[in-house]
């Protein structure tokens, strides 16, 4: 498929923060042009009467039950703390 006229591979590379050689620019422009061509084909599909979906199949109760469970003790939570004071984490002051 030919490269679309409005495809600016330099702009796309700049957005992606990548430096491309001239050979890579030609290769990626062709690949991106093919992808855009496939998207154009998808736009031609008649989807009247097709309900939008977020998933290919329905999801039911994907979360675990919210049940109370014992937590860590203060000693266990502070065990690897680099600094602690009065049963709390001690961190450097960041706001004056």
> Nearest 5 degrees, angle CA 43-CA 48-CA 50?
95
Distance CA 28, CA 39 (A): 16
pTM here is 0.47
Give the E-state strand segments of the chain in sequence order. 84-85, 88-89
Distance CA 82, CA 48 (A): 61
* pLDDT tens profile 17-65: 999 999 999 999 999 989 999 999 999 999 999 888 888 888 777 788 8
* pLDDT tens profile 68-93: 999 999 999 999 999 999 999 999 98
């Amino acid at each position: 498929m030919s490269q679309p006229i409005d495809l600016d591979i330099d702009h796309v590379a700049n957005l992606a923060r990548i430096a491309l050689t001239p050979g890579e620019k030609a290769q990626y422009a062709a690949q991106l042009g093919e992808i855009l061509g496939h998207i154009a084909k998808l736009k031609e599909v008649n989807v009247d009467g097709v309900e939008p979906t977020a998933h290919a199949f329905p999801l039911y109760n994907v979360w675990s039950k919210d049940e109370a469970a014992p937590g860590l003790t203060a000693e266990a939570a502070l065990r690897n703390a680099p600094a602690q004071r009065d049963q709390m984490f001690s961190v450097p002051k960041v706001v004056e």
